[in-house]
Amino acid sequence: MKARFIKTIYILFIGFSVIAAAYFSFKAARYYLEIQRKQSQLEKRRIELEKRKVAWDVLEDEIKKELNGFAGEAAIVIKDLNTGWQIRINQDKLFASASLVKIPIMAACFYAANEGRIKLQDILTLKAAHKVSGTGILKDAPVGAEFTIEELIQLMISESDNTAANMLIECLGFDYLNNCFKKLGLKDTNISRAMMDFISRGKGRENFTSASDLAFLLDEIYNTGLINRAYSQMCLELLKKQKIKDRIPVKLPAHIPVAHKTGLEKGICHDAGIVFTSQGDFLICVLTKHKDKTARPAKRFIAQVAYLAYNYYQNL
């Protein structure tokens, strides 16, 4: 009886040992296969990135070729917002900002609201001194009309309204705006005159920026790093409402969202923004200075650079 019990225990022990060995062998095999699968995925990803980088380098060559054929000066920053790769040409060169300064003004307004200096629902009254020519609808509004700061920001961005911008500039003041630009991390951007103030411009007071600064600010907005997520998202949505579409978006499919801001003055033509595609999002800033009688060649140049960048994503 005792021998039979020992034999039974022995058989069970052998059985459990076989089962345990099979189980751990199965686990080891699964672990090995999972490692192989991950290694295969990493290798596939590595090859895809290598091909993508080659295409990115080709894109840079194509853009440099376009620049060589442009009758003027240009600064370009294009950034792949997934990989972080950048094409940077004359990125720190100073350009008269024209209406591109409205992006940092917008950011400064939200910065002031966040620190309690203003409220977005505060009312500002339109004065005759605010009204200037150029883009926008407020130049035709009656003196004494009232608008909230939030309404003025929207008009300044979506309509590129110069009068709205001047009301916001007066509200915050040049000193506050310039200090705020620095706090926001901008190195090359200043504001020393109101929009369309060509008398001050003739005296040497100019608003300047760089492609590098605009790219930095747009990157902060895209990655929700401008003040906080809520204000970053507000900036992005406002930039998507831009109604002037004759540069970055003009050669792109109509369904492609573009969050951007243009700038245009005599001899100056810019566009800076973010393009959202199904294959990845990219940031693009193109600032130009030219001597043509019209801005049409500069607009075509900016549109072509944006189109080349867009095609890079479509060919991935």
> Which pair of structure tokens corresponds to residue 274?
């973010």
In 3D, which of 89, 81, 28 has the Cα closest to residue 61? 89
Is CATH 3.40.50.1980 what the domain over 68-314 is classified as, yes or no? no
**Based on the number of CB atoms within 10 Å of its own CB, is 20 exposed (0-12), middle (13-18) or buried (19 or more)?**
exposed
What's the DSSP call for residue 128? G
Are 216 and 185 in contact by the 8 Å Cβ rule? The answer is: yes
Q: Which residue ranges make up each domain of the chain?
A: 68-314
Q: Say if residues 147 and 124 touch (Cβ distance below 8 Å).
A: yes
Q: b/e per residue, 36-54, with b = 16+ CB within 10 A?
A: eeeeeeeeeeeeeeeebee
Residue type at 104? Answer: P
> Each residue's pLDDT tens digit in the chain (316 positions)?
566 666 666 676 676 666 766 666 666 667 666 666 666 677 777 788 899 999 999 999 999 999 999 999 999 999 999 999 999 999 999 999 999 999 999 999 999 999 999 999 999 999 999 999 999 999 999 999 999 999 999 999 999 999 999 999 999 999 999 999 999 999 999 999 999 998 998 999 999 999 999 999 999 999 999 999 999 999 999 999 999 999 999 999 999 999 999 999 999 999 999 999 999 999 999 999 999 999 999 999 999 999 999 999 998 8
User: Is the separation of the CB atoms in 217 and 186 below 8 Å?
Assistant: yes
Q: Where are the alpha helices (DSSP H) in the chain?
A: 2-68, 102-114, 149-158, 162-172, 174-183, 198-202, 211-222, 229-240, 296-314
